[in-house]
A = this chain, B = another copy of it.
């Protein structure tokens, strides 16, 4: 049960004169400030610390805008950007599940669905299902936009790992083949970007930045 969760906005309640719709929207927008505190495994290229989900989501959105031309199928850029902006919001309540952590992966779907139920319900009644539908679409990966969004979600840490000369490729027990398997979804969206991704993984393996056994 999570009915008693204290919201961030409860700590400094908005003035009573604020109308109900804006109150719900502002409450949600303040609540998602927490995305800035959910840490990922990826090391930043620009400085020596791990990335958080808000930074990651911004970076994916930039990638969609700049790399959409490489999608194998035509995509609606605006819609794809919205998918990446919201795709990690549920981690505010469900936490980040590292790509190479199999145990955490097992109940991931259930934890994340509960988080989505709770989080999106903060929005106005007509808006909540629209935002929830974006998250469902991203997760189901049945549209060209969702496939491209997912590809960005896998390509971005690959660039950061390249810059870090290994990064999470060095996770104990992970081999270069594991990396190739987890990253292969890039190829479902863009042959050209997956060729580039594979080139980085292969070259990283050749340089000893990941394990080849």
Contact = CB atoms under 8 A, between A and B. Distances in A.
A47 B36 contact: yes
Contacts of A26: 159, 196
Contacts of A132: none
A15 B16 CA distance: 59
A29 B196 contact: no
Contacts of A17: 199
B8 A62 contact: no
Interface in A57-102: 57-59, 61-63, 65-67, 70, 77-78, 81-82, 85-86
Nearest to A45: B33
A105 to B, nearest CB: 25
B199 A28 contact: no
Interface string A1-40: 0000000110110110111001001101110111111000
Contacts of A63: 29
Interface string A142-180: 000000000000000001101111000000000000000
Given A26-B159, A33-B44, A78-B78, A127 B66 contact: yes
Interface stretch (A48-56, A109-117, A181-189): A48-56
Contacts of A44: 33, 36-37
Interface string A102-125: 000000000000000000000100
A46 B62 contact: no
A22 to B, nearest CB: 5
Contacts of A85: 58, 61-62, 65, 81
Contact of A62 (B15, B19, B32, B78): B32
5 contacts: A8-B163, A54-B55, A55-B58, A66-B127, A78-B78
